[in-house]
A and B are shown apart, each in its own frame.
Chain A
Amino acid sequence: MTHGLARLRALLDRHVVGHDEAKDALLLALVCREHIYLEGPPGSAKTRMAEVAARGSSLGFFFYQMHRDTRLSELVGDVVLERRALAEGEGERIHQTIEPGGILTAEICVLDDISRAPGEALNVLLRILNERKFGEKPIPLLTAIATSNPLRDEYYNEPLDPANLDRFAIQLRVAGLIQSGDRSLARALVDQFADGRVVEQPEPEPVLGRADLDALHAAQARIDVPAAEKDRLIEFLRRLVVDYDCDETNSLLTDRSFLVKAVKLLRGRALLAGRERVEREDLAVLNLMTTFRVPEEVHEKVPELIEEIVA
């Protein structure tokens, strides 16, 4: 069952050098049917990774480049004004509907440069992502992958509302290989382009089908979570709140994310590791959840904190 995932991972490796953490996180998002948010400087392969992961799984795909004037209708389909004549003398009825398209009909979508869209326009989009329904109708969306550049100075731009970021269960920062100073990876990257391999590579072929993903998702739900690991999860949260002073003003430790989705991600990671039960090392996924939910200086200490709890 995990062969499909291995193929997808290999596909990602073929197209993108390095970024192991982000690639694993993408697979995790697909298995758990959660949304993922990648933030990194321009040219750090965020969009490429998102696209390869999306196209590599043969799902209904929607790519949208966000921009300053992004409007809802570009994401959800065309607005239709419907006019219907009523019975004689009764006048006519005018109704505004939406012809579903874009994100309403896709199974997987890539929302590029999400922070460029006006803050409030995002609200509706993120709501759809969160509830996976539009109006009362469920949508087929499994996973949304959003990318963004870090907002160093938002002089002319609003920072993303942290409550909006909460819609993305998995969140991580991506750094360029050259900037992060990893010489061997940077060299591999240069080689890849110098050899012309990347340029000649055709569009990624689907290596994973919907049936595979359904089976994976079902398998994830069956993974056993021992009481000891649940205790550790609570201890992790307790430490964040009590020792690191994370509260409602500076953090977003919502019950939905950390008591429901966190467990799912623990299971997902165990599944990706080929296990049938969650083990303590799986708590490492919590680091993928705290990136933008706790203050930056606390997030920097999270790997340490996880290590302490696991020890």
Chain B
Amino acid sequence: MALRQGKREAGCVVDPSLLGLARSARDALDAVLLGHDDAKTGLVLALLAREHAYLEGPPGCGKSALGGALARIAGARAMHASFHRDTNASELLGAPRLRRERRGNAERLSFELMPGPLATAEVLVLDDLSRAPGEALSPLLRILSERRAAGAPLPLETAIATAGAADLESYADPLEPSQLDRFAIQVRMRGLVSGRRFERARALLDRDPEPPLRAVLETDQRHALQRATRALPIDPAARAALLRAVERLRAAAGDEPALLSDRAFARAAPRILQAHAFLRGSERVEPIDVRALRFMLARRVPEALEPFVAAILEDSLLESTPVPAPPASTRPAAAAGEGGGPTDSPVPVPGLETVPAPIESIAPQARARGDDDAASVESLVQALLGRLERGAVARGEDPGGQPRGWRRMRRLDELLDADPVDALLFAKGQTTTPRVYRRERRNAGGTLAVLRDVSASMEGRLSRWAGQVVAGLVRTGARRRMRMGYVEFNHEAERFEAGGAFFHRRYRRLLALASRRRAEGRTNYEAPLRSALAELRGTAGRERHVVLLTDGVPVLGDPSVRNERALARELGVKVHTVFLGLGECPEVLDEISRETQGSCFVARPRPDGRVTVRERKGEGEH
């Protein structure tokens, strides 16, 4: 559907020259980076709407370049902050000021912040936001949403944050949803190479070196744009479509965590819709502008839903009642305006055009709701991962870790890591030992043995499902750089080594094994556990896990695996069990998991072909 810039008539709300300016700002971003239309348009929407934006993507895809460029093009007073694990609040908010007052013999000390660069910035670029510790972020994010600091209003218009994709930055903590919600615009970027867009990649090689960026807007113009955006009326039909879209998104997300907050969708979304309407040259917000919601969703809906977002938004448009033909002075609704006259030359804004999706595309929503194999595998792997990490998340204190709070100084050389005010007072002999950062580090790495039942009953669907679970574990293990070992078992255990070692990091090879289908022989728990534990005996480290996938009751070997349970306890290895199928889950699986502080899951295929996953806790199934 072509979005068009109509001829402006007298009395129009939108000044065509302003529209031209907004579009040239958008186009100027093309000089910075090839492609990434969604991110570029998202940023311009944020600027027009005076909302904050969040760009997430793998390293080296141009996130920071884009954020910096917008600030430059917008002609705004910009502040850049690069976040790292030692970022502290005062770097952003200003230097701490110590106030001392004498009162007779006593001295009163108080502490306040002097305004820092934040006090003057109009556009804020927050690079690698997720690397900063939460303590530094909380005050900052509060200021972002209030746009006030130390009681005074800030000139801040838009903050642009960038962050690496959560799974690549294995040392960074993902940002919390509550923090992310302050960024109305959220766009995920993908690399050209890893996203398989080779033609674009080739085109990038031919690009000439970038010319230096010029400011496209002046402060007055920027403010005029923002005012004009804010003044666009929002049709009742558009409001209805907005609500419908949010309801549909919520329904599609099902039980998965989705962050569809009032703040984002009642307060920020209308402004984003206004900006979208403005940018496409409309003088009113129409249902079609609900498409702009897709620039808001990167971290608000589950990633699995992402491919279907455009279709869901399209559906909420199509059901809207057509806007009654407006009086002559206004333009027809864009949804009905496809056959425009020759004077209405289409001015496509990249990223603003959504490919209309057929209405039957609701079907995929079912998938995201957890109604088929892929989704249930995903939820099981996530649950297992949670258990695997339970120990790892308990961080250990480490001098190289992230600051996670305060403790008293123990050695003098820790003074460098002390609270500056405390350190000063300490140096003057006025306090006891100062507070220093308590640094903790998550225990990355770890060792995981996957034991997969391939006995005769493990066939067809069950086998495929088990393979998907193994593949999910391998992918997750790869992200955490775990060393993994793999055993297939029936009456005997078959170990798969790589490079002469049982535990290794050849994830690709493990994935190939996971897709194998084999179903023969009878079930024996003892052999695989013995085999894996013997290997684990030769390893060290705190995070050592075994995942046992089975569909049957052991008929060979020691059915209660007494020796193996004792050995696992002795080694401190956690054994997690997953029982697949309709039969009764053997009590022994429960016992193994409970004794070794592992977890026990039961996955049951249902008559309608779905799989439900449940965790067994304590005695019996709940």
Interface residues of A (CB under 8 A from B): 69-73, 79, 81, 83, 86, 89-96, 117-121, 123-124, 127, 131, 135-136, 153-156, 158-159, 161-163, 166, 225, 227, 230-231, 233-234, 237-238, 241-242, 245-259, 263, 295-298
Q: List the B side residues contacting A257 at CB < 8 Å.
A: 60
Known: A245-B508, A249-B167. A259 touches B96 (CB 8 A): no
Flag if B424 contacts A163 (CB, 8 Å).
no
How many whole Å from A81's CB to the nearest CB in chain B? 6
B475 with A166: CB separation less than 8 A: no
Say whether A163 contacts B100, CB under 8 Å.
no
Known: A93-B114, A136-B80, A257-B60. 17 other contacts (CB 8 A): A69-B400, A90-B99, A95-B420, A118-B398, A118-B401, A159-B444, A231-B202, A234-B198, A241-B193, A247-B194, A248-B167, A248-B191, A253-B191, A253-B193, A254-B60, A254-B191, A259-B204
Find chain A residues with CB under 8 A from B96 CB.
Answer: 93-94
User: Which chain A residues lie closer than 8 Å to B131 at the CB level?
Assistant: 123
Contact of B481 with A by CB under 8 A: yes
Residues of B within 8 A of A120 (CB): 85, 171, 400-402, 441
A–B Cβ pairs within 8 angstroms, 10 of them: A86-B97, A89-B101, A91-B98, A92-B100, A93-B96, A94-B420, A94-B421, A94-B424, A163-B168, A249-B479
Q: Which 9 A-B pairs have the closest CB atoms?
A: A118-B400, A256-B60, A254-B60, A91-B99, A121-B400, A155-B540, A230-B205, A253-B193, A234-B202
Given contacts A238-B198, A253-B193, A254-B191, A96 and B60 within 8 Å (CB-CB) = no
CB–CB B164/A163 < 8 A:
yes
Using known A-B contacts A118-B401, A161-B171, determine if residue A249 contacts B84 with beta carbons closer than 8 Å. no
B109–chain A nearest beta-carbon distance, Å: 9
The one of A73, A124, A155 in contact with B416, judged by C-beta atoms closer than 8 angstroms, is A73
CB-CB under 8 A from B475, the residues of chain A are 249
Across the interface, which residues of A come within 8 angstroms of B481, CB to CB? 159, 162
Residue B45 interfacial (CB < 8 Å): no
Does the CB pair B97–A250 fall under 8 Å? no
The CA-CA distance from A161 to B479 in the complex, in Å, is: 10
A254 touches B402 (CB 8 A): no
Residues of A within 8 A of B171 (CB): 119-120, 123, 161
- Are A248 and B82 touching (Cβ within 8 A)? no
B428 CB, nearest partner CB in chain A, Å: 10
Measured between beta carbons, the chain A residues less than 8 angstroms from B128 are 127
**Inter-chain contacts of A161 with B (CB < 8 A):** 169-171
Return chain B residues, CB-CB under 8 Å to A241: 193-194, 196
Find B165's partner among A71, A246, A248, A295 (CB 8 Å cutoff).
A248
Residues of B within 8 A of A297 (CB): 506, 508-509
Measured between beta carbons, the chain B residues less than 8 angstroms from A245 are: 508
Residues of A within 8 A of B521 (CB): none
CA distance A118 to B169 in the complex (A): 15
* Set A71, A233, A253: member contacting B205, Cβ < 8 A: A233
Residues of A within 8 A of B62 (CB): 255-256
CB distance from A258 to the nearest CB of B (A): 6
Q: Are A81 and B423 in contact (CB under 8 A)?
A: yes
State whether the Cβ of B462 lies closer than 8 Å to any Cβ in chain A.
no
State which of B101, B191, B478, B505 has its C-beta within 8 Å of the C-beta of A255: B191
Cα A254 to Cα B421 in complex, Å, equals 42
Identity of the chain B residue whose Cβ is nearest the Cβ of A155 in the assembled complex: B540
Residue from the list B59, B100, B194, B441 in contact with A118, Cβ < 8 A: B441
B206 at interface, CB cutoff 8 A = yes
In the complex, the answer to whether B82 meets A135 with C-beta atoms within 8 Å is yes
Q: Which of B420-473 contact A (CB under 8 A)?
A: 420-421, 423-424, 441, 444-445
Q: Are the CB atoms of B59 and A166 closer together than 8 Å?
A: yes
List residues of B (356-399) whose CB comes within 8 Å of A's CBs.
398-399
- Cα distance A168–B339 when bound, in Å? 54
B539 CB contacts on chain A under 8 angstroms:
153, 155
Knowing A158-B444, A245-B508, A259-B193, the reply to whether A250 touches B478 (Cβ < 8 A) is: yes
A83 CA to B481 CA, complexed, in Å: 45
Is B254 engaged at the interface, CB distance under 8 Å to the other chain?
A: no
* Of B205, B423, B540, the contact of A259 (CB 8 Å cutoff): B205
- A124: which of B86, B165, B198 is its contact (CB, 8 Å)? B86
Closest to A152 in B: B501
The answer to whether residues A254 and B202 also contact, given A123-B171, A245-B508 and a CB cut-off of 8 A, is no
A253:B420 contact, CB within 8 angstroms: no
Q: Which residues of B contact A298 (CB under 8 A)?
A: 508
Taking the complex as formed, is B251 at the interface, i.e. its CB lies under 8 A from any CB of chain A?
no
In Å, the complex CA distance between A296 and B194 comes to 18
Distance (whole angstroms) from the CB of A84 to the closest CB of chain B: 9
Residue of chain B at shortest CB distance from A119: B171
Q: How far is the CA of A153 from the CA of B447 in the complex (A)?
A: 11
- Give CA–CA (A251, B507) in the complex, Å: 11
A124→B128 CA distance, assembly (Å):
12
Q: Distance in Å from the Cβ of B105 to the closest Cβ of chain A?
A: 18
CB pair A159–B424 under 8 Å, yes or no, is no
Check B170 against A163 for contact (C-beta < 8 Å): yes
Taken together as a complex, chains A and B put the C-alpha atoms of A94 and B250 apart, in Å, by 49
Taken together as a complex, chains A and B put the C-alpha atoms of A154 and B446 apart, in Å, by 9
Contact B193 A83 (CB under 8 A): no
Question: In this complex, what residue of B is CB-closest to A246?
Answer: B194
With contacts A230-B202, A234-B198 taken as known, whether A166 is within 8 angstroms of B60 at the C-beta atoms is: yes
- A247 CA to B58 CA in the complex, in Å? 11
Residue numbers in B under 8 Å from A156 (CB-CB): 540
Contacts of B196 in A (CB 8 A): 238, 241-242
Find chain A residues with CB under 8 A from B165 CB.
Answer: 248
Please name all residues of chain B whose beta carbon is closer than 8 Å to the beta carbon of A124 when the two chains form the complex: 84-86
CA gap between A171 and B498 in the complex, in Å: 24
- Asked if B59 and A127 sit within 8 Å, CB to CB, the answer is no
A254 to B61, CA, bound (A): 7
Enumerate chain B residues within 8 angstroms of A227, measured Cβ to Cβ.
206
Do A123 and B85 touch (CB < 8 A)?
A: yes
A119 CA / B481 CA spacing, docked (Å): 13
B56–chain A nearest beta-carbon distance, Å: 12
Name which of B61, B80, B85, B101 has the most chain A CB atoms within 10 A of its CB.
Answer: B85
Q: Give chain A residues whose Cβ lies under 8 Å from the Cβ of B84.
A: 123-124, 127
Question: Across the two chains, which residue of chain A brings its CB closest to B506?
Answer: A297
> Is B534 close to A, CB under 8 A?
no
Chain A residues within an 8 Å CB radius of B80: 136
In the bound complex, CA of A252 to CA of B445 (Å) = 18
Residues of B within 8 A of A162 (CB): 168, 481
Q: Name the interface residues of B76-106: CB closer than 8 Å to any CB of A.
A: 80, 82, 84-86, 90, 95-101
Does B340 sit within 8 A of A, measured CB to CB?
Answer: no
Per-position binary interface string of chain B over residues 170-210, scored 1 when its CB falls under 8 Å from any chain A CB and 0 otherwise:
11000000000000000000011110101001101110000
Is there an interface contact between A163 and B95, defined as CB atoms closer than 8 Å? no
- B95 engages A251 (CB within 8 Å): no
A231 to B202, CA, bound (A): 7
Distance between Cα atoms of A227 and B441 in the complex (Å): 48
For residue B559, CB closer than 8 A to chain A, the reply is no
